[in-house]
Amino acid sequence: MLYFDTSILTPLVKTESTSGKVMKLITELSGNRLCTSHWTLVELASALAREVRMKATSPKSAQKSLQDFEAILEASFEIFAPDATDFDRAKDYVSRFDTGLRGGDALHLAVAARHKVQAIYSLDKVFVKAGKKLGLPTLTGIRI
């Protein structure tokens, strides 16, 4: 099972410099069980809302991106709901002050750890480095 955080899934619905590489990676890995967390939906919706507030995109465009994202996840990913143990573990990860983890990233790592995934993909270098410090199988999967 392979876990994907929000940063590596966002380029599937928003044009970014990494979009092509991410699409290729997902296609190459599609024979595996791909998974993410419901938290990913919250983070993407928050990022899109911020873009709307900053007038970087229209509400209609943001809504379309969110709908496309939900369709991609529904078609190709298992989506895990965080539980109380994930929040406890995330708190423990954040409390390791040497990791530089933010709360939301720690929650991704906790969900992935509970499900004993083989790999955790992210484009966030701090996230990947922190995961490695915690003994988790984090990687970018692409050259960024």
pLDDT per residue as tens, the chain (144 positions): 999 999 999 999 999 999 999 999 999 999 999 999 999 999 999 999 999 999 999 999 999 999 999 999 999 999 999 999 999 999 999 999 999 999 999 999 999 999 999 999 999 999 999 999 999 999 999 987
> Which range marks the domain in which residue 12 is found?
2-139
Residue 144 lies in a domain: no
Q: How far apart are CA 34 and CA 107, in angstroms?
A: 18
What are the two backbone dihedrals, phi and then psi, of residue 99, each rounded to the nearest 5 degrees?
A: -90, -25
Residue 108 domain flag: yes
Assess if residue 71 is contained within a domain. yes
Residues 6 or more apart whose CB falls under 8 angstroms from that of 72 comprise 9, 12, 13
Does this model's pTM top 0.75? My answer is yes
As a whole number of angstroms, the distance between CA 127 and CA 119 comes to: 13
Would residue 96 count as lying in a domain? yes
Query: How many structural domains comprise the chain?
Result: 1
